[in-house]
Amino acid sequence: MTLSSRDRLNAALQVALGDAANNWGVKIMRVEISEISVPKDIENAMNLQMKAEREKRAIELKAQAEKEALIRNAEALKQEKVLQAEAIERMADAKKYEQIALAQGQSDAMELIANQMAKNTQAAEFLLTKERIVAFTELSKNPSKDKVIIPYETSEFIGGLSVIGEFLGKGKKA
């Protein structure tokens, strides 16, 4: 208190000394306290108080900084989750659009095929033959030696013979 009020003390001393010096014909123009001595106990107490105040401010600043860091980390995590959710939503929308486009394309293709089949009765046979050729090509690429590739028409013929054989075999038993 004394150190912080030095200007007030100087002014009060100037007034008091000026009043006393007027009787002697002296005018005091300025008073300056250059040093105030305090007992060692008070000086130690003042130093401890200043140290405690600095430590208190340091603790408060550290706590405030930790609080702000936690808040910023939480906000960053929240922003990350929001961005992830938006990305998932966009991917889902893209996948949905892709599936709709594929389904529409397949629908259009099936409609074109149906129209052509209605106009030309051999169109269906052409498509089936084309698919058989692709299937036989893939089968022939198989490195296995234990395969026999028989065209569809031949298998129909063999199936027909087995039915006739069964029919004839039943006729002999009766």
User: Per-residue pLDDT for the chain (174 aa), expressed as one digit of tens each?
Assistant: 555 677 888 888 888 888 888 888 888 888 887 777 888 998 899 999 999 999 999 999 999 999 999 999 999 999 999 999 999 999 999 999 999 999 999 999 989 888 888 888 777 777 777 887 888 788 778 787 777 666 666 666 666 667 677 766 665 555
Contact between 18 and 28 under an 8 Å Cβ cutoff? The reply is yes
For 22, half-sphere exposure in the C-beta direction (CA atoms, 13 angstrom radius) is 5
Residues contacting residue 30 through CB under 8 Å, at least 6 positions apart: 14
- Structure confidence at residue 73 (pLDDT): 97
DSSP state of 151: -
Contact between 64 and 57 under an 8 Å Cβ cutoff? The reply is no
Phi, psi of 156 (to 5 degrees): -65, -40
- Structure confidence at residue 133 (pLDDT): 81
Taking the C-alpha atoms of residue 99 and residue 97, their distance in angstroms, rounded to an integer, is 5
Nearest to 68 by CA among 56, 58, 79, 76: 76
For 47: left if phi > 0, alpha if psi spans -120 to 50, otherwise beta; the answer is alpha
80-95 pLDDT per residue, tens:
999 999 999 999 999 9
Contact between 111 and 118 under an 8 Å Cβ cutoff? The reply is no
